[in-house]
Amino acid sequence: MENYKIIEGGVCAAKGFKASGMYCGIKENPTKKNDIAMIAADVMCSAAGVYTQNKVKGAPVIVTKNNLIKSGGKAQAVIVNSKNANTCNADGIEKAEEMCRLTADALGIKPEEVIVASTGVIGQILPIEPIKAAVPQLAKSLSYEGNNDAAVAIMTTDTVKKEYAVEFEIGGKLCKMGGMAKGSGMIHPNMATTLNFITTDCAVSPELLQKALSDIVKITYNCLSVDGDQSTNDTCMLMSSGLAENEEICTEGADFETFKAALYQVMASLTRMLAKDGEGATKLLTCVCSCAPDLDTAIIVAKSVIRSPLFKCAMFGSDANWGRVLCAIGYAEAEFDIDKVDVDLASKSGKIAVCRSGAGVDFSEEEAKVILSEDEIEILISLNQGEAQATAWGCDLTYNYVKINGDYRS
């Protein structure tokens, strides 16, 4: 995509969006890291969502879905906390609804116009008192520069905040789009994001907003795997304020493609950040499967490789154990001819062919070691039986993943 420009501002980059974040004390925390955030729009927005497919759904997921049904796909605010997922609790729905009511009261909107989300430990009662105390303060401190405070508040085991924003033109109008995401572990399709909020001022009809989000989730967040565990609280929301004043995009023409390309840019960039900051990760792994018979096959193969614990360990050890790549391609649940498959490994230090037509080729182990010692590795797979291509993102499996997740109730 050539028509976009990377800009600052995260969820506040687009016109009409304020945000805030603070520490309210959902969990004892001596560093007083932010644990609650609010996003509010100056006007009523169209909102589209994609949610976890886990049968265990966090109470906030259920409440948000219901709210969007009640409001007819409209929303004006987001309230989100970390440190507690509000999932598998008998009073979960009640608490999530209360978070919406508190936010609505503070902002003078209706509860069903609020999107609620939570992330953190599953199965612990959410303390509502600190949230009750915090919401009015969050509302008061809302700011067009509040994106950083909000992005920091949704972090759990994340080591860095994830924000990204772009600007692009639609019908001569400058449009902006930005997002923030959290997630580090329990990340696997579908959906693999845990929490993600994207805002735009580009006017798009509710139907096309949902279509764009669903299409792009499929080739970005749904192609991300840190550990193969699918969270109960995954939520990806896209809100449009329409304040860029472009003519609303109501049909699937060139403007819609431009919008989708911007959305891909934002979501693919956040996906990459999530993979790179996977729990314990020392390396970003990007697997590109090309020349596949169709898109679904390309996605399935790329994801299978990215998910393989054995391959992830080999990457941690900078070991060109390509047999594990082929093994993971082989158990991918798709139909194709394994005897046509080529595999290369690459990084900024070079590229090396390790497999041709399903069999090993001679390569320099020394050269491979140099390539794999970089912190961003590409696994390039060509199925040589079609024209479809997909990318999947992941990371290596390290001692620290075990440490983080073996520690008490991480």
Block residue for tokens 């919008």:
259
| Nearest to its own copies of 141, 384 (CB atom) | 384
Burial of residue 409, with CB atoms counted within 10 A of its CB: 0-12 exposed, 13-18 middle, 19 or more buried: exposed
28: CB partners within 8 A, 6+ apart: none
DSSP per-residue letters across 201-263: -S-B-HHHHHHHHHHHHHHTGGGB-SSSPPPS--EEEEEE--TT-PPPB-SSSHHHHHHHHHH
Q: Give SS3 for 88.
A: coil
| Nearest to its own copies of 23, 363 (CB atom) | 363
| Nearest to its own copies of 2, 339 (CB atom) | 339
Min CB(184)–its own copies separation in Å: 11
Min CB(198)–its own copies separation in Å: 24
| Nearest to its own copies of 314, 390 (CB atom) | 314
Greatest extent of the chain over all pairs of C-alpha atoms, in Å:
68
| Nearest to its own copies of 288, 404 (CB atom) | 404
103: annotated active-site residue? no
DSSP per-residue letters across 55-80: SS--HHHHHHHHHHHHTTSEEEEEEE
**H/E stretch holding 168:** strand 162-170
284 beta partners: 376, 395
Classify each residue of 23-55 as buried b or exposed e, where b means 16 or more C-beta atoms within 10 Å of its C-beta: bbbbbeeeeeebbbbbbbbeeebbbbbbbbebe
Min CB(382)–its own copies separation in Å: 16
Min CB(166)–its own copies separation in Å: 32
DSSP per-residue letters across 369-396: HHHHTSSEEEEEEE-SS-SEEEEEEEE-
Sites of contact with its own copies (CB under 8 A):
53-57, 85, 87-90, 121-124, 185-186, 227-232, 307-311, 313-314, 316-317, 319, 321-324, 326-332, 336, 338, 355, 358-360, 397-399, 401-409
> Which of 103, 156, 193, 297 is flagged as catalytic?
193
Min CB(172)–its own copies separation in Å: 46
Min CB(362)–its own copies separation in Å: 10
| Nearest to its own copies of 116, 354 (CB atom) | 354
408: CB partners within 8 A, 6+ apart: none
Radius of gyration of the chain (CA): 21
Query: Which residues participate in catalysis according to the annotation?
Result: 193
